Amino acid sequence: MESRAIKWWSRGWRDKTLPLETRPALVDYLRGRLKLDLSTRHGPVALDRMLVAPSLLSPDELAELLVAGPP
């Protein structure tokens, strides 16, 4: 089976994109419903620049997750 990189900032594969310009109804919805200014667009933030709050799990709960591994 072929291995493909997934996007960490959204769903889907890193090599597959769907530009907003191809979805005018979605653009209108986002602009109106969410009051977004889509004239300024930014790419995803690098993982090493993201601030993430510390986990609320106890050390025992974290250890249990590490032992269990991925689903």
DSSP run (H or E) holding 59: helix 59-68
- Global pTM value: 0.36
Closest to 55 in 3D by CA, of 46, 66, 45 = 66
User: Per residue in 11-40, is it b (16+ CB within 10 Å) or e — as a string?
Assistant: eeeeeeeeeeeeeeeeeeeeeeeeeeeeee
Give me 26's structure tokens.
């979605």
Q: How far apart are CA 17 and CA 40, in angstroms?
A: 18
Tens of each residue's pLDDT in the chain, 71 residues:
667 887 776 777 778 877 878 888 988 888 899 887 877 777 788 888 988 899 999 999 999 888 876 66
**Domain limits, the chain:** 1-41
